[in-house]
Amino acid sequence: MKITNHYAALDPNLCQTAKAYLVSEPNLLLWNSELAQSLSLDQLDPDKRADYFSGQINLPGSKPVACAYAGHQFGHFNPQLGDGRAHLLGEVNTDDGLFELQLKGSGQTPYSRNGDGLCGLAPALREYLMSEAMYHLGIPTSRCLAVVTTGDQVMREKLLPGAIVTRVASSHIRVGTFEYFAARGQIEVVKKLADFVIDRHYPDLINSDNPYFDLLKAVIQKQIHLINQWLRVGFIHGVMNTDNTLLSGETIDYGPCAMLGVYHPATVYSSIDRRGRYAYGQQAGIMQWNMARLAECLLPLFDSDEKVALPQAEDVIKAIPKQQAEDFNRMMNRKLGFQNPVFKPSWVEGFLQKLQSKQLDYTATMTGLTEDVTKSGEDAELKDQLGDYYTNWRQQVNKADTQAVQQTMTANNPIVIPRNHDVEQALTAAVEDDDLQPFKTLLAVIQSPYKATKNITRFQQPTPEFDAGYQTFCGT
């Protein structure tokens, strides 16, 4: 096993050499054995893993760097962001392609902007837990290989135990990466980036007549799919800035993320999202906004004449809402049991409004409907909650192959999600009580979200009173 770094070799402007800081007492707290095996990292000496994944010693071939990028944060452009507390170690080559390894919380870099470059244990554990939940829910995501405690403390509101998390992604190229160089007029670097993304993520576009225009369209399709998968399970990202939007179509950055309990599209849990820009129901619109920022960066590659390139890009961006809505309707029909849509968008919208008006839990309601499919009579509670929508749904189910309906619903409706109160309880036990067992118990349950497993019942309980006052934080 040897680390390579094609990204750092692409252009000297993309990143700067950076060394992880020395820690007092690195200790391997969590190790993702299944992921390690898929990356052929299970062969590493167990006694050295804590040192490798805290940056104390380099993996063979690794030359750590911090990457440059910009980003629109809550709609405002920041031209100079970059990896302020992350070190890209390079990539490993697997049967499934190349995967990059990145340390997060590993110390200051040239892009730290007066930040300490560190990470507390709770945010590191949250990223590990939530990314594993998303992976097992079947949603494109970065993952975590390891969490190493440092033996040092991090100052936030108070002193907290420090940790370093190892993130794995097929690449870390963001919309903000393109923005960084486009804003500086470095179109030659934008072109190199676009070629790199095409080669790694969209190789079928290599021989396209207009590969960069087709790249925009391909990225949009990945983003439409990603957002609708978030909506399928009730995931709220919390900070959908352009620097957190990967061109690979994977979910990244699990700072202020949370899960929807009672259905309401205006739900916000992020403490820094005071105006609800990134609310649950706003995520599709923000995705379109982010894709418009990417289109602006790629315009010079579409055509040298902006009068030709701009209308092309505008047409693609304006088409997103219709495409997203059609994909959303197909997704919701699958949650209701039908591979081929039988419920029109207006019916689905009314159904969701019923959940909202009755203050029903999104996951629990869909679980109840899934269990109801094979019952002989009507469920009085569901009938009372959903009214005519329940009756209409039952009529369609009764006309269909009920076994096929139940299989479709079972595959699309998780029976357990990482509920906010369970996540917080697990993190509190780990950080304040030095007890990792609640975390491990929850992790085991959310790794089988579509199956009834041991301990699952206690993690299926909605707690609307907890969610009502719940806030998440970015951890920096």
Q: What is the DSSP string of 360-386?
A: -BHHHHHHHHHHHTT-SS--HHHHHHH
243 noted as active-site residue: yes
| Maximum CA extent, the chain | 67
The answer to whether the CB of 384 falls within 8 A of the CB of 416 is: no
d(CA 350, CA 20): 52
Options 243, 372, 422, 467, the catalytic residue: 243
Q: What is the DSSP string of 229-280?
A: HHHHHTEE-S---GGG-BTT--B---SS-EE--B--TT---BTT-TT-TT-G
The answer to whether the CB of 62 falls within 8 A of the CB of 103 is: no
3-state SS track over 27-38: EEEEECHHHHHH
Q: What is the DSSP string of 38-87?
A: HTT-TTS-GGGHHHHTTTSSPPTT---EEE---EEETTEEES----SSEE
Total residues belonging to the chain = 476
**Residues near 277 by beta carbon (within 8 Å), at least 6 away in sequence:** 74, 75, 286
Which residues are marked as active site? Answer: 243
